[in-house]
Chain A
Amino acid sequence: MTRVLLMLAMLLGFSPAAQAQDLQNLLQSHAEEIASPGRRTVGVVLDDLAGSGIPQVATFLEQWQEKNVWQGPEGLFFIATEDGDTLTLTDIDSGAQSTAPAADFTQLKPNGGVRRVIGTALVQFQLMDPDLTRRTTAVASIARRPEASQLAPLLGSIEGESDAALKARKIQLANFLSASFADDPADRIAAITSLSTDVSVEARAVLNQILSTSPGVAAQLPSDANIAQVLTPGAEISLDAAYALLVDDGLATPITTAEEIKSALAANIVDGRVGDVPVVQLNTTDNRASAYAQLAAAGTVPALVTTADRDATLADYVFFETYDEDDATITTAAKTALASVETRVAVGQAADLTLDALSLASIYFLAAIGLAITFGVMGVINMAHGEFIMMGAYTGYVVQLFVPSYTASIIIALPLAFAVTFGAGVAMERLVIRHLYHRPLETLLATFGISIALQQLAKNIFGTQARPLTSPAWLDGALVFNDVVQISYIRIAIFVLAVIFLFLILFVLKRTRLGLEVRAVTQNPGMAASMGINPDRINMLTFGLGSGIAGIAGVAIGLYAKVTSEMGADYIVQSFMTVVVGGVGNVWGTLAGASLIGFLQKGIEWLNPSNTLAAQTYMILFIILFIQFRPKGIVALKGRAAAD
């Protein structure tokens, strides 16, 4: 135990000898400055306290900053909490508690400036605090508001840091601080250069901070300033903004606005005229200008400044941006570093976009794969497919009402959703679709009828507000590669689910007896029937399978979006387009369609990030055009199977 303490003391840089002194004595030697501190005088006290190496100093400074230090009648300092008329006193050195009447004590109330100075001094204590959480908090507070004064204590604390993660963070932060505040330009440049591989938002903020500029104007380009760029009015800077700079510097008078002209004219109407212009004729800009010019000539209003005057004035001046940092070598280094960072960020963003697109594609794939079976393989237009998705999601919601564990509920919900929608699909096939196999357009309308009925039914049962489908805790959060590239676990799970389903369906269709029979019935029901396959049964099972998968997709989509009665309708058009674009009757086609639509949508969103509606609009237009050129989709069936 003693050894640990000793080591700790050594790590903290304290000499055991200094510990012998007690804090109260030290404080008494500075009693005057502590009782009424000023921003200048307090520095000496803090230096002494920091140098003393007494462990209680940190606590004292904290309490002092919080205005919890009171001075007793004999001039002794106590940490105290006020409770009515009495004070609960804590001895500064021993921590022994006692009570005393408040009237005998004076509270120390350092002003805001002093408290800030104390706060800065505290940083070095907190950075070396034995408690890890306090060290972490201190580092975080530095990251929030970096100041030059924090650099030295931070650097000093790196050596003794025992926690590896925090040490890395301290080094990173120290790097940021030295890039901004180090005294030696060479140090700063070294720190800046080391930032050129860091894509974190903080690093970019530091570099941008160093490269911050302010606009300036002068008759001649100043030779001593660190010029970022020369601004040509009308190109790099708008004419109005340039003129506003001149006006701000008192080098020009503002342009007379239309409003000013108007109110000046209104104020100077004499006998229904302004100058020699009748008021009724003041309905054009030219007439107003000439009337105003007459007023100006008479001296009633200031002279008219027009845009032509503005342009003439602008020609006499040079506009430029100067770096707030004077040292050109530093700004050059920062510029190089920032360019390199931005290249990395662009690569990162491309990767992030790809991940986003992949996850969107897998959502579309999940939503559409069931449809690919019912529509693609059987040729049945099921407008209620979206409602099967909704049904699956609500199944998940209901399961969560009864099963409190989120993990267990999802594990139960997935097969249950499949069962529920499989049943619904089989029922729908038996009752409705069976009668309409030769009238595909009417299947569309009948299933649409079912769709609106189901949607309204869901609304009646579950209400109109969105219901939550909560994901298990292990799916919370995101896989973070760096500040640019990250993806939430739920999206990864959906991606995995999509891949599983892709292979599951391929397996069922290509490797099982059922799949063989399904393919046989789709290609030629009559022939299949004469081979002993019951087409009715196969159609029923196929439709049930497609619907069941929609139910599972519903659970997955519900985890990622909210569960509402309209959620199916949001996916139905996209799902159909996925199947049509990909190529009907082919699972790989659906995959291709989903990927194309997912990547396309994310790509368009990236070009126009503020407007996801526009992205969807352009994507649909693209799909309409795409179908012109490949009416059968990306993966078109060939030969007999392709016949309608």
Chain B
Amino acid sequence: MTNSFLMRNPSTLWFLLGLSLFTIVVTALSDAGIGVMSTSFVKTLGKTLCLCLIAVAMDVVWGYCGILSLGHFAFFGIGGYAVGMWLMYARTEGIVLDSFASQTIPPTPQEVTDAIGNQIFGVVGSSEFPMIWAFSDSLILQLLLVVLVPGVLALLFGWLAFRSRVTGVYLSILTQAMTLALALYLFQNDSGLRGNNGLSGLQNIPGFEDTPQSTISLAFFYASALAVALGYVLFAWITSGKMGSVIKAIRDNESRVRFLGYHVESYKLFVFTITAVVAAIAGALYYPQAGIINPAEIAPIASIYLAVWVAIGGRGRLYGAVIGAAFVSLLSSWFTGGGAPAIPLGFYTIQWTDWWLVLLGLSFVAVTLYAPKGIGGLFDYLVRKPS
């Protein structure tokens, strides 16, 4: 079954092949191989893979189903927070237990909890564990939350929105409002998630304190690559076949699909929820590599950037989303990181750290106007040319 599905989708096989080659090349160049690639660059690539995964999810919900969600980065952030809570708790627990070990009297469980609470919530002037940290001592439960919280949130939100037939730009604005509400909530100090300090020190994985970061970053890189591969196959499967046709039909003419007897809301809800879950998984892989998460990451603008990546890469084709996310985010870090050379104009020197966003914004307008198919559209050109 899977075989035949993959056979029908050669682009998926090509993508998996490319991803495997990329992974092998990165391994060979990293410290595990000849060591010319720095650990931080391996991390950047790992993070980029996570962004590719959420871009693929975004492409499915927008490019295939026609729902321009400006809230998927919120799910990404929730995933990051869920896993970050465990990372922070477990690491702080280790530190606290170490400090208690030097005392003559062994600590009571209450003392340990209080000390951890003090360490984590001291910055927001509290030491009590909020309710939402109830499961933070268990990795398995927190990993479940990575999937469950965004899943339930997306299900609830989607059900409310689709049920009352909120579509098009209204839905975009509504999802944006949801993202803004979440970001504003997290900015509060009494949200229980350390306000605008966010969660930090996530790059230190409890239990692997002695493992060098180069090994950890490579492990996360593999995990991200695997997640992208699995996510890609999952979405390729969803968007192919009969279901894929219905989803695309909803994008093209929702009323007509409804009149044909399909329950449009269920399809939309399914796509919205599953992409939200995948986005959260991407976030859960991203933030341990980034090391820090704070509410600013969730702000509505991040979700709009996500749409920008997908649009530049090419909507309605999964590899387009991957290309867009990888291309724009790597280019962006090259430009803003000062990697791009400044251009002297005689009377004025263009510093790319200042002008990159202007370039990005304008090129985005240009892509929307002149190349609605994005970079992925080039492949059509290449494939069609020989025939």
Contacts and interface: CB of A to CB of B under 8 A. Distances in A.
Interface of A: 258, 262, 265-266, 269, 279-280, 282-285, 288, 381, 383, 432, 435-436, 439-442, 444-446, 448-457, 459-460, 569, 573, 576-577, 580, 611, 613-614, 616-617, 620-621, 623-625, 627-629, 631, 644
Contacts of A577: 173, 177
Contact of A432 (B177, B190, B307, B365): B365
A449 B362 contact: yes
A611 B195 CA distance: 12
A573 B184 CA distance: 13
Given A283-B106, A616-B184, A624-B174, A445 B364 contact: yes
Contact of B181 (A265, A624, A629): A624
Interface centre among A455, A460, A620, A629 (most CB of B within 10 A): A620
A623 B177 CA distance: 9
B372 interface: yes
Given A440-B169, A456-B355, A573-B180, A624 B361 contact: no
Judged by DSSP, the binding face of A is helix
B107 A283 contact: yes
B30 interface: no
The 4 closest A-B pairs by CB, nearest first: A453-B361, A449-B364, A456-B357, A620-B181
Contacts of B355: 456, 460
Given A442-B372, A460-B354, A266 B104 contact: yes
Interface residues of B, number: 53
Interface stretch (B46-54, B160-168, B277-285): B160-168
B361 A436 contact: no
Contacts of A614: 184-185, 188
Interface in B89-115: 103-111
Interface string B304-340: 1001100100000000000000000000000000000
Contact of B185 (A269, A288, A613): A613
Contacts of B343: none
Contact of A449 (B165, B176, B365): B365
Contacts of A280: 106
Given A436-B369, A446-B368, A631 B164 contact: yes
Contacts of B361: 448-454, 456
B87 to A, nearest CB: 26
10 contacts: A288-B105, A448-B307, A448-B364, A450-B362, A453-B357, A456-B358, A617-B188, A621-B181, A627-B166, A628-B166
B181 A266 contact: no
A180 B61 CA distance: 71
Contacts of B174: 580, 624, 627
B80 interface: no
B180 A620 contact: yes
Nearest to B106: A283
B170 A432 contact: no
B68 interface: yes
B286 interface: no
Given A580-B170, A624-B174, A449 B105 contact: no
Given A282-B106, A285-B108, A613-B188, A456 B369 contact: no
A247 to B, nearest CB: 24
Contacts of B243: none
Contacts of B181: 616-617, 620-621, 624
A457 B362 CA distance: 11
